[in-house]
Structure 1
Amino acid sequence: MSQSAAIGELPEQAAAVLPKLVIFDCDGVLVQSEEITLSVLIALLNVYVPDTARLDIPYYIEHFRGRKVVECLREAEQLLGIQLHAQFEQDFRQHALHALTQHLKATDGIIEVLQSLAVPYCVASSAPRNKIEHCLRLTGLLPYFDGRIFSCYELGRWKPDPLVFLTACQAYNVDVCDALVIEDSVAGIQAAVAANIKVLGFGPVERHAKLAEAGALPFADMRELLTLIH
């Protein structure tokens, strides 16, 4: 079956059989953190180079979205021809946590969705557990996900590797064909596809072509999720 055919059939499949588990990504899905943290990262990287060589913030927010921080830093070093100091990642995380504390918000409509979901759900993220919990606590979402958090850092493998999604399914004793992933990044969608889990791609309309190309059915308003599931 072609990718486009699979995407086109997803709503019909979802309507026919409710998923037994909904797996949310955190950054960019439950909370709107990607633009905040990646803007901080790119600004810190741009300190190392002259204005004419600086990374374009909108482009690299999309390019780094959903990926492991260390991987992004190694790529940035190659792109910029620099060597970052040993404490750079730690400094970045401190700056990012401060920015999140000041500006982070829950995704519009997510609480309504969580309160209405009639099936089990959890969060599976490439971020460290302490960051996931910090973001959820800041936005009032932690009570919904207490005991339902899966972090790639605890598995040692990051999206697009599918292990974090497979681990969530195993923990809930749910077959991959009965799960549904909600993602906003290409890497996360690729991980769901690799796990043979149906995936919806959340993001603004201008990102929908990229999300669909990766293998997801795109949607722009979190409240649409209840309709797509049912």
Structure 2
Amino acid sequence: MCLSAVIGELPEQEKRAALLRAPKLIIFDCDGVLVHSEEITLSVLITLLNAQVTGSFKLDEETYIERFRGRRIAECLREAQGLLNIELDSQFEAHFRHQALAALTLNLKATDGMVEVLQSLTVPYCVASSAPRNKIEHCLRITGLLPYFEGRIFSCYELGRWKPDPLVFLTACATYNIDTADAWVVEDSVTGVQAAMAAHIKVLGFGPPSRHAQLAAAGALPFSDMREVLSLINH
């Protein structure tokens, strides 16, 4: 279901609240929003984790891509060690990041319609991600999006707090001197939606229809085509 259709089904009061206040700042998540990276990096992570297992139980890729989506890698590793009853060595995360960057370099693409959206926006925009800055920049560089975000990157690693903590979104709004009521966040994960909701920022949930229910349940207005961001602003 498209975003405009979702809004059309809201009660009239909520519909007006959703449409009457055009944004003065749009904050994009990176992985899964600007670029199709979550499936690539988390597939690498799950493969490497399963290679550590000697028993029969292993992580199902589809299930755990969704479970780990949008979360800090260190948190995912702690959970995986408990699930798999393994102890990862101190170099595992560095090895994973090296392998993930190699996979991204070979396979990463910008989200369809993303360049069109960025070229058409007439309001300020930025990216706020739970990833380290070097990964954000790497993903944007190899997909050709980095020129759009020079000087517009906010990383949770530089703040020391990760989504669902709202600090990265609050920092972006403060940097642009924009009230949170005048900002929009575009997220693909429940964790990211929770962070936006905690910051009292309207959040659009980007993803295929199969993920719309969980995004909506977290508080987002779900949509599947990035170009719909432009049509919503124009409303």
Question: TM-score normalized by structure 2?
Answer: 0.93
TM-aligned CA deviation for residue 159 of structure 1? 0.1
Percent identity (aligned): 70
SS at match of 1:52: coil
CA deviations 1:44-87 (Å, max 9, x no partner) are: 00001147311000000000000000000000000000000110
Per the alignment, residue 54 of structure 1 pairs with 58
Q: Residue 118 of structure 2 aligns to which amino acid in structure 1?
A: L
Give the alignment's Cα RMSD to 1 decimal.
1.6
1:157-168 equivalences in 2 (<5 Å): 157-168=161-172
Question: TM-score normalized by structure 1?
Answer: 0.95
1:174 aligns with 2:178: yes
- For residues 207 and 216 of structure 1, the distance between their equivalents in structure 2, rounded to whole angstroms, comes to 11
CA deviations 1:73-124 (Å, max 9, x no partner) are: 0000000000001100000000000000000000000000001111000000
Per the alignment, residue 199 of structure 2 pairs with 195
Between the two proteins, the alignment pairs up a number of residues equal to: 226
TM-aligned CA deviation for residue 12 of structure 1? 3.4
Per the alignment, residue 184 of structure 1 pairs with 188
Aligned CA distance change for structure 1 residues 219 and 51 (closer, same or farther; 3 Å): farther
Provide structure 1 residue ranges, at least 5 long, that are not aligned to the other structure. none
Per the alignment, residue 218 of structure 1 pairs with 222
1:125-164 equivalences in 2 (<5 Å): 125-164=129-168
Aligned CA distance change for structure 1 residues 10 and 118 (closer, same or farther; 3 Å): farther
Q: Residue 123 of structure 2 aligns to which amino acid in structure 1?
A: V
Query: Are the counterparts in 2 of residues 14 and 229 from structure 1 also a CA contact under 8 Å?
Result: no
The ranges of structure 1 where at least 4 consecutive aligned residues each deviate by more than 4 angstroms after the TM superposition are none
Provide structure 2 residue ranges, at least 5 long, that are not aligned to the other structure. 1-5
1:123 aligns with 2:123: no
- For residues 11 and 58 of structure 1, the distance between their equivalents in structure 2, rounded to whole angstroms, comes to 34
Per the alignment, residue 3 of structure 2 pairs with none
